[in-house]
Structure formats: structure tokens, C-alpha cells
Amino acid sequence: MRGRGGRRALGGARAGGGQGRGVTSARPEHEYDPLTDPLPQGGHESPWFRSDNPAPEASAPVQEPASGPVYPPGPMGAPEPVAAPQEWYEPVPPAYQQDWYPAHEPMPEPMSGPVTTADPSATAPIPAPIPAPISEPISVAEPTAAGDSTADPASTRAMPAVVVPPATGGRAERRKAAKGKGRAAPAPAPAAAPATGPDGRRLTRAEARRAAKARKDSPAVIASRVLGEAFITLGVVMLLFVTYQLWWTNVRAHQEAGSATKKITQDWADGRKPGTFAPGQGFAIMHIPKLDIVAPVAQGTSKAKVLDKGMIGHYDEGGLKTAMPSDPTGNFAVAAHRNTHGEPFRYINRLKAGDKVVVETQEAYYTYEITSELPQTPPSNVSVLKPIPVGSGFTKPGRYLTLTTCTPEFTSTYRLIVWGKMVDDRPRSKGKPDALVG
């Protein structure tokens, strides 16, 4: 800002001791007014030359800039830097200090328009604040003399650019971004929409709480859900158990029964003579041609050692000891499962009088003919196992066969009894009986 506001009183102090803004006094006669007085002889060409400021000598060194911070130009910054003295002087820039203005004129208000210098062509708008970040150096003129506001192009220096990194998150995110491995920050979650009622009206906080509570399941609903899940789990477990009992136990029993049959035939082929049969030891093979059954016969009726392995058990324990097929008289009584675990006797209720049952041993083939049956009797009725079975119709000693199993199917409430009598005793050397050949 150059103009009349830059005039300074010549001479010593201002009128009134230079105290205070707006204090006026009469100008002394020897004071020079550059606007009204003619240019003095031998003076400089600049109208701002002061008689009490002699021209600088050629040999005088240029004063170095004072130490201190360099402020960028701006409306509220420090006084603009000045350059070294030249042939003429620029007007003193306006600064918001009282000592720079004549006592007879008030200090002008800060101006925000373009700055006008002594040279009409040297006008420039007030520079805008430096944006951040910046990528180019800033050229700042270093002051060469106090009070001068011009900058010598030769005395300017480039300040390094100040690059402000963009705010992309924490230190780890910035490091990843610098290495090219960073990921884009997740989008913020959308704000929850305010709760509204059926009519579109926004609910109050109390109404929203009541609506949320109403949406929660009641204890009865939770209990019914838990009970339903328990029933579903129980149903799945029961289904698996039934599948195991009706299917898998038969598969395993058939495998074990087949292995026992092969072992028995192998022992016969090796000429091994049996002594006293141990519980669970196989000693014979029973053939029921009408039912297409071929199953090994083992000693004893143990459920775990004999019956559950798909074999037929011979009653030979305690008071239920029965005769062997080779005995001259007696009742050869056996038992087997009707359902599950191989179920060898499942369809013995289909046997009719005259059907044949062959018991094969190491020495001979014993053929029995079915004579009668007892559809149902309690498990405690052991009289059916006597040498002359009760209820069979036999009245005198003989060589008899008794088949026992559970009834009805899939239960063990009662027993089903089928009787037969021996009709053929053929040594193995004579070959198979007609019942097996046919």
C-alpha cells in the first residue's frame, strides 16, 4: 500500500512528542512536503526523497538481512521484506504501527484491495494463502535492508516444498499404502433408519422400546422351540437305532455266521475229532430247505456269544440240558432269533407237517420231519424241552427235534414252538440225504 499513507515527517520527533494516533500540530517551516514543494537542487529523481536522508554512498556495504523468521506476504502478516537501497526509494509499506504515520493524519484502515506502488504499472492483488499440500518450492524474498519492501530477484531463495500426506488412517494403513499393498478402507455402515409405525409415523423412544420387546419371542415360544428340537433329535436317534437293529445287525450276523460255517467245515475236512464242545463252539450245520436256511449250530444259548452272531444255539446249560442228534433217544432242542441279528428262525411259523429239517454233523446227516407246532407259550414253559415234549403229541421216548423262537415278531413276550421227529440217520459216507439233493 503505497501513497499518501506512506509519508513520514522529516526531522526529529513528531509534534507533540510523537505520542498517540491522530495528534496534529503545525508543520515546521523547514519541513519538506514532496507533494507541494518543488524538487530541491541536487536531489534525487524520486519525489519521495527526504532532505534528512542522504543518498547512500557507493562504497557503503549492503546491510545483511536481520535474523529471524521469514513471513509469507499476506494481509495479516509481518511487514513485507525489503530489498537493498537503489537509486530511488519505494514508499514505505503500510504497517499497523502508529509510529509510521504523520501526527497530523489518522492511520488508515487496513485495505483488502490491490496494492498501488509509485509505479502505476506495478499493481498486484493480495496473494491468497498457500494451499496445503504444495508440490512446488516457494520463492521468498530475503530482506536486504530494514524498511524496504521490494525484493531483489538475485536475493531470493527457494524454500523446500512442504508436502502434507493425505490422511488415510493409522500408521499401519499409511505404511501399506506406501508399499502398494494397502487396501481400501471399508465403507462405513449405513445409519439405521428411524423406527416407524404402520402408518409411517416416526415412533417415540418409548414406543420403539415397546415394539422391540413385542418382537422378541415369549418364554412359551422358546420352550416350545426347545421341546421341538429335543423331539427331532430323539426321532433321529430312534431312526438310527431302528436302522442299526433291523439292517446292520443282520449284516454283521450273516458275516459271522458264514465265518463260523466255514470254520466248522474246515475242521471236518482236517479230520479234527470233537470232544466236549465249549460254550459258543460250533459243531453242526442246520439246513431248512423250504426256508432256504443254512446256519451253524453252536453249543449253548448265550445271546452275546451265540444268538447275536446269527447262529442257532443248542440248549445244554443247567437244567435245560437236551440231547444231541447222535443220542439214541432224547429231544434235540435249539433256539434262534426271529428278528434282527441274522434272524434264522424268522419264518419257522410257515413250516407245515411233512417239511424236512436236516442237521449235518461231522459223522452223519440227521433228517427230521415236522409234525406239530405250538403258536404261543410263555417263556417260563420249559416242559416243551423235555425228552418227551409236553404238547407235542409224542407219548413215548424217541429222537425228537424242538425249534423255539420269540413271538410276536419284534417282541419277546411269548415263544413259538415247532416239533419234529427223526426219520433218517445217514452217515456222511453214504452222501447227502434226499432232502438236500432235491
Please report where in the chains the cell 493409522 appears, as a residue: 170
Three-state secondary structure of 365-377: EEEEEEEEEEEEE
Virtual torsion, Cα 29, 34, 38, 44, nearest 10 deg? 120
DSSP annotation string for 222-247: HHHHHHHHHHHHHHHHHHHHHHIIII
Told to judge if 44 belongs to the known catalytic residues of this protein, a careful annotator would answer no
DSSP annotation string for 64-96: PPPSSPPPPP-TTSSPPP-----SS-PPPPP-S
- Is residue 403 within 8 A of residue 418, CB to CB? The reply is yes
Residues 36, 275: Cα–Cα separation, whole Å:
157
- Of 7, 314, 399, 415, which one is the catalytic site residue? 415
Is the preceding peptide bond at 56 cis, omega within 30 degrees of 0? no
- Of 337, 338, 341, 399, which one is the catalytic site residue? 337
Told to judge if 337 belongs to the known catalytic residues of this protein, a careful annotator would answer yes
Told to judge if 252 belongs to the known catalytic residues of this protein, a careful annotator would answer no
**How many of the other CB atoms lie within 10 Å of CB of 45?**
8
DSSP annotation string for 414-437: EEEEEEEEEEEEEEGGG---HHHH
Amino acid at 159: M
Catalytic residue numbers?
A: 337, 406, 415
